Amino acid sequence: MKTLIPPVLIAAAALAVAAQTLRQAAEARHFHIGTAVQARLLTDPAYSATLAREFNQIQPEGEMKWRVLRPSQHAFNFAPGDAIVKFARSHGMRVRGHTLVWHEAVPAWLEDGHFTSREMSALLREHIDTVLKHYAGSVYAWDVVNEAFNEDGTMRSTLWYDKPGIGAPGPYGYLERAFRLARAADPHALLFYNDYNFEAGGKKFEAILAMARDFKKRGVPLDGIGFQCHLKLGSLTGAQLEHTMRAFTALGLQVQVTELDVRLPVNAAGQASPEDLAQQAKLYGEVVHACLDVPACTALQTWGFSDRYSWIPGKFHGFGAALPFDVNYQPKPAFESLLSVLLKG
């Protein structure tokens, strides 16, 4: 005997399917849900289909870092970054730029170049000016400086910090100069400071907050703080995140979750336990919930979307399965949790 499905059930199922992407749920509430992407994967149909369906904002994982943009001192390579901008444009997505000043992903010619403070200063100016002008109108926000503080709240020793001559006077020398140069190069771009492991509070959080206060007081152009949120189970609660976000939004700054992933212990096949996947889903839900609760939290991005291409297994030995889609682009519990909070939370 043939079972007939009542039309009303079919209609309800169709409706549920229609509202079942992160992108649709985000757009219904005018929210930006983003992810880090790799230009080389944009031509892979499975990758690009999931990307365009689920997200309305993207950020290059490496293509706008010095190592890719500056293959040699006198040449810029914009092609991979441009491919990302092009993809975004044809799929109605915004682009976040990442990152102008960082101690990692620096080309050897710069790292080993033995440049004087004066030369470093000129390089910083040329870089920020050229890159922001190239992407003006295409990149709406930049991580101007990434990861400038140590865990204890002191400034990290880097190729930039260790050349005091390149910055403005004062404790935040090179950071202040980078923000001022960025504003001058593209007055329309939103300028972010981005960091990790301060989301739950502590000395690094206090140090970033002190800098943000100082910048606001003295008119240094800072528009927002990026909360990377590279998490593991138990490292953060939604309440802590909301608390630290509000400390910045009280200064008139925006905040964004910029690099969310939740790494889990995995077996030799790269698989996590069902219990951990459920806990991971809960944490994803708490993070997006905190962001939606804070009016000046203006976007949430994951650091990649499929476990197939996550940076976690290469960086944290024995960990993986950190993203909302598995290696075959199938939605995981974390996806369901993000979706349900975006739909109703």
What type of residue is 195? D
146 touches ligand XIL by CB under 6 A: yes
CB of 287 vs ligand XIL, minimal distance in Å: 16
CB of 183 vs ligand XIL, minimal distance in Å: 21
256 touches ligand XIL by CB under 6 A: no
Distance CA 88, CA 141 (A): 14
311 touches ligand XIL by CB under 6 A: yes
In the complex with ligand XIL, which residue's Cβ is closer, 61 or 176? 61
CA distances to 16, 151, 165, 233 from 121, rounded to whole Å, are: 55, 27, 7, 41
Check if the beta carbon of residue 192 is closer than 8 Å to that of residue 175.
no
In the complex with ligand XIL, which residue's Cβ is closer, 228 or 306? 228
CB of 202 vs ligand XIL, minimal distance in Å: 18
228 touches ligand XIL by CB under 6 A: yes
302 touches ligand XIL by CB under 6 A: no
Reduce the DSSP state of residue 261 to 3 states and report it.
strand
Check if the beta carbon of residue 244 is closer than 8 Å to that of residue 198.
yes
35 touches ligand XIL by CB under 6 A: no
CA distances to 147, 187, 263 from 204, rounded to whole Å, are: 10, 29, 22
Catalytic residue list contains 286: no
Check if the beta carbon of residue 236 is closer than 8 Å to that of residue 199.
yes
In the complex with ligand XIL, which residue's Cβ is closer, 141 or 339? 141
Q: Is 330 exposed, middle or buried (0-12, 13-18, 19+ CB in 10 A)?
A: exposed
301 touches ligand XIL by CB under 6 A: no
Of 160, 168, 140, nearest in space to 59 by CA: 140
In the complex with ligand XIL, which residue's Cβ is closer, 97 or 173? 97
**Length, in residues, of the chain:** 345
Reduce the DSSP state of residue 233 to 3 states and report it.
coil
Reduce the DSSP state of residue 207 to 3 states and report it.
helix
Of 298, 295, 302, nearest in space to 263 by CA: 302
> Considering 147, 176, 199, 286, which one is annotated as catalytic?
147
> Considering 61, 63, 199, 259, which one is annotated as catalytic?
259
Catalytic residue list contains 336: no
Instruction: Tell me the residue nearest to ligand XIL as measured from the CB.
Output: 311
- Convert residues 41-80 into a mask of x (bound to ligand XIL by CB under 6 A) and - (unbound): --------------------xx------------------
Size of residue set near ligand XIL by CB under 6 A: 6
Tell me which residues touch ligand XIL (CB under 6 A): 61-62, 146, 228, 259, 311
Active site residues: 147, 259
